[in-house]
Amino acid sequence: MRLLLRLASLAVVFGALTPATAQVPTIDSANLAKAQEIATSTQNILTSDQQILQYTQKTLSAVTGDRSTQAQGSLAQMALGGGFSMAQAPSLGSVISGGALSFAGMSAGSQNMVSTLINGLQLVQSITGLASGNPVDAAYKNSVNVAATLSGLIASTQSAMQKRSQAFTQGGQQIGQAPDLKGSVDQNTQVQIQTGQTVNELNGVVNNAVTAANQANLDRLAAASAAARAMKFSQ
């Protein structure tokens, strides 16, 4: 019994003298590599998101905002920016119907040309002494008025064409200089507007030509009517 007690005591003593050992942490290489891969991928995603945000902001800036300064200037002066415009032309229909001649809107050279034609008409009237009530005389007077107005319009249009040609050349030099998409779109819109105004000017010229041709027909009818009356037999 005593032997057992001594052995137990020795076991307790030796157990007390043995140092206690703590748990040593272990490294899982596979988990560490996976964590590093996830961190790298996350960083790449954040970098890509920042780049996408920058491109999105640049795109938004390129398609929004005011670009009036790029779409104005010489681009907005190509069609009607300088010189004569058909909107300023005197009414040819009013002249044909006996209205007074108007020099409004015409250039100085056109006014001189019209004045020369009118002076010629007055000279013919003073030489012939024809009465204004005669249909042929009235037709002749209207023809001269129409010719004078058309001559003024042609001279004014020719002068305006030179100025518009210069304006189109200057406007064309701006094409391609827009720094972004919206500037290019706005410049293209301005060019389309100027093209429409130019076509409208052409329509005005054609309308005057048609009106003048109609006056020629009226003059022939007046002459035919006068000839028919002259040949009419009366007792």
Widest CA span of the chain, in angstroms?
Answer: 186
Q: Count up the domains in the chain and report the number.
A: 1
Q: Which of 15-19, 113-117, 161-165 has the highest mean pLDDT?
A: 161-165
Q: Is the pLDDT of residue 150 over 60?
A: yes
User: Mean pLDDT for the chain?
Assistant: 74
In a domain, 34, yes or no: no
What digits encode the pLDDT tens for the residues 189-210?
988 898 888 888 888 888 877 8
Q: Which of 94-98, 102-106, 130-134 has the highest mean pLDDT?
A: 94-98
Q: Is the pLDDT of residue 17 over 50?
A: no
In a domain, 186, yes or no: yes
In a domain, 220, yes or no: yes
What digits encode the pLDDT tens for the residues 51-88?
999 999 988 888 888 888 888 877 888 888 767 777 77
Single-letter amino acid code for the residue at 137: D
Grade residue 211 by pLDDT with cuts at 50, 70 and 90.
confident
Alpha-carbon distance of 45 to 40, in angstroms, equals 9
Question: Where does 64-107 have alpha helices with state H?
Answer: 68-71, 92-96
Give the range of the structural domain holding residue 185, as residue numbers without chain letter. 68-77+91-225
Number of CB atoms found within 10 A of residue 232's CB: 7
Grade residue 41 by pLDDT with cuts at 50, 70 and 90.
very high
In a domain, 120, yes or no: yes
Mean pLDDT value of segment 82-105: 70
In a domain, 54, yes or no: no
